[in-house]
Structure 1
Amino acid sequence: MATMQQVADRAGVSIATVSFVVNGTKYVTPKTKARVTAAMRELKFRNNVVARALASRRTRIIALLFPTTGNRFSPTTSEFFMAAAERASERGYHLVLWPVDPAGDDLHDLVSGGLVDGVILMEVRMDDPRVAVLTELDVPFTLIGRTRDSSGLPYVDIDFETTIERSIDHLAELGHRRFGLVLEDLDGTPMAGYAPHRRVEDTFEQAMSARGFQGSVVYAEGGSEGGRDAARRLLEADPDVTAVLIMKDDSSAGLLVGLYAAGRRVPEDVSVLSVASSGAAGDQHYPRLSTMVAPGRALGTRAADALIDQLDGTSVELPHFLLPCVLRVAESTAPVSAGASATA
């Protein structure tokens, strides 16, 4: 097997430069790094992560922890993961996706075995037992999300409060006064108490009360059928609803079908706004959904930086980053019709 010295000779650099590239310990210019990695491939040099870990007591591996329950890998989640992985690589770390039990019962084995240097925790609940386990194990971690009180925890998150306020602002400017909100039904599952849902629902209800608007909340089962049922129950709760927010990508198509089946045209009779999704997901529907686009890549990058800053000892303060979704207007939102306005 090739040695670092052989790689250095082939690339025309010092052995220290090869070590910097292998270990990610110091900055190397992209041109020099490309020469070194090309030499490593040509010589079939194997970067022995285990040997490095034994020598340095660090693996330079970080884990993104994802709950094992249900199908929760959305397009936005993919963006989080890819952006975090890219940033970790830029900073000399490897990021792995690691499914964990929602209760955190398997975290001890992951951490105590020395497999990873730190973790990023996703899909956070308001009272998340995994946070308590990680705190007790004294492992460096960062949350993508917030618990009920995250003031003493490192986190990055979507600013759901601002996102919902801006969603309602957009629709209110179009004349809407009767709103519906569709969320995923997680009651009775290990993900009950999912923090984004709680924050979105609380903000929605507060905004309805403060503005004197009519608001109805329904929880949808999975898939298209769940969306159809949500449309039916929304119209039962308020037959005159003119604007619907939905935060459930896999049920959006069903919601549109359910509204059409009930004789409601989108957007002529009912406007629909998809929350914390992506433009690509919105474009898969007819009409194309107006969307509050989630800042997936920005959050993934910030989460990786927040954790690696802890690991490298460069943190100066506890990271608290909140990024709102950005409105992308498409075809599913429009001014309220004159008849609906009169009814409201």
Structure 2
Amino acid sequence: MPTMQDVAKHAGVALSTVSYAINGTRPISEETRQRIFAAMEELGYRPNVLARGLASKRSRIVALLLPAAKRGLGLTELEFVMSATEVAREHGYHLVLWSTEIRDPRELQQLMQQGLVDGVIVMEIHEQDERIDLLRKIDFPFTMIGRSADNQGINHVDIDFGQTMQVVIDHLASLGHTHIAFLNHAQEEYDAGYGPAVRTQHRFLESIEARGVHGITRFCEAQAEDGYKAVNDLLAIDPNLTAIIVMNDRAIPGILRALADRGWQIPDDFSVVAVVSSARAAEMTNPTITTAEAPAKELGRLGTEMLIKYLEGKKKEFSEVLIPCELVIRESSGPCPKERGQLV
């Protein structure tokens, strides 16, 4: 079994330098650190994480808090996880995923005070979020992928939901659509102050009014059957609808089926645009879905790097980074049908 001495010899560095690279107790150059990790990989050396933690009082483990009990982990969420995991690995950290719902802040406090993780990346942020309040109270290192109502003094990155919604509505309006629906997350999530649901709802209503077009909104559970029912309900309220913006890509199969059951073709008779989704999800349907694609990889990278830099004392000032989604036009959006009356 290879030892640290073997790694040092293979990498051409001192034994102490290998220790610094593994434990992060002293700064070393990136080139040297990568050479040491490459030697560890080639030799199959695996450091004892618990022993390292006892010696350095740091575990070099960070946690990603991504509650997914209700909606599950979809393709977009997995992109966040994969990006954060890769960045942590590149910096010599391990990342653990905590996907269970935290119903009592004491659960979180127990995890933090056991010394198992050095810091946390918090996702699925609510406007008033007990997790954030607790982390501030116990002064535990954390960053957010998302925003709460009060973000002062917190490193965070998030999607620019306002600009994203504006771009999507501009796209549909430029195609002549004047009756547009927005299918948001579930009512329960909106009422609980889930940031993305609140921000997109408000910006949709603002943008519709500014554009002078008709808009209607509805909340929807993350299931195909709910998407099917929601489309039919929306069309019953406004038979002149010609386009729908969907916040939840798990509802899209039901939406497509509801439109197909009416004998409508997409995008000739109706346009569908997804927001905060992924390219992989958009390309799995027929037709492929025009999507405002979430910058999941970039947000996962930035959120993790912010935390690690803070842990290693390299970041003194707090940062806020907002990144809009990128609109990728595929097969599901097209010009407003001229003879809507014949389709209803």
Do they superpose with TM above 0.5?
A: yes
- Give me the whole-angstrom Cα distance separating, in 2, the residues matched to 1:191 and 1:145: 17
- Which sits farther off after the overlay, 98-107 or 298-307? 98-107
Shift of 1:323: 0.6
**1:91 counterpart letter in structure 2:** H
Alignment of 1:239-258 (within 5 A): 239-258=239-258
Judge conservation of contact 2:21–2:36 (CA < 8 Å) in 1. no
**1:133 counterpart letter in structure 2:** L
Counterpart of 1:201 in structure 2 is 201
- Give me the whole-angstrom Cα distance separating, in 1, the residues matched to 2:155 and 2:134: 15
SS at match of 2:339: helix
* Number of aligned residue pairs: 338
Counterpart of 2:165 in structure 1 is 164
Q: Percent identity?
A: 40
Alignment of 1:134-153 (within 5 A): 134-153=135-154
- Give me the whole-angstrom Cα distance separating, in 2, the residues matched to 1:234 and 1:220: 11
Alignment of 1:7-46 (within 5 A): 7-9=7-9, 11-24=11-24, 25-26=27-28, 27-29=30-32, 30-31=34-35, 33-39=37-43, 41=44, 45-46=45-46
Counterpart of 1:123 in structure 2 is 124
- Give me the whole-angstrom Cα distance separating, in 2, the residues matched to 1:253 and 1:222: 11
Shift of 1:340: 4.0
- Give me the whole-angstrom Cα distance separating, in 1, the residues matched to 2:48 and 2:187: 43
Shift of 1:258: 0.8
- Which sits farther off after the overlay, 98-107 or 238-247? 98-107
**2:134 counterpart letter in structure 1:** V
C-alpha distance 133-283 of structure 1, shift in aligned 2 (>3 A): same
Alignment of 1:1-344 (within 5 A): 2-9=2-9, 11-24=11-24, 25-26=27-28, 27-29=30-32, 30-31=34-35, 33-39=37-43, 41=44, 45-67=45-67, 69-103=69-103, 104-187=105-188, 192-340=192-340
**2:182 counterpart letter in structure 1:** L
- Give me the whole-angstrom Cα distance separating, in 1, the residues matched to 2:195 and 2:128: 8
Let me know the Cα RMSD of the aligned residues: 2.2
**2:332 counterpart letter in structure 1:** S
Structure 2: gaps of 5 or more residues? none
TM-score by length of 2: 0.91
TM-score by length of 1: 0.91
Judge conservation of contact 1:100–1:106 (CA < 8 Å) in 2. no
**2:148 counterpart letter in structure 1:** T
C-alpha distance 191-86 of structure 1, shift in aligned 2 (>3 A): farther
SS at match of 1:83: helix
- Give me the whole-angstrom Cα distance separating, in 2, the residues matched to 1:93 and 1:36: 14
C-alpha distance 10-285 of structure 1, shift in aligned 2 (>3 A): closer
Shift of 1:134: 1.1
C-alpha distance 321-283 of structure 1, shift in aligned 2 (>3 A): same
C-alpha distance 313-123 of structure 1, shift in aligned 2 (>3 A): same
Shift of 1:167: 0.3
Judge conservation of contact 1:17–1:28 (CA < 8 Å) in 2. no
Shift of 1:69: 2.9
**1:174 counterpart letter in structure 2:** L
- 4+ residue segments displaced more than 6 Å: none
C-alpha distance 341-118 of structure 1, shift in aligned 2 (>3 A): farther
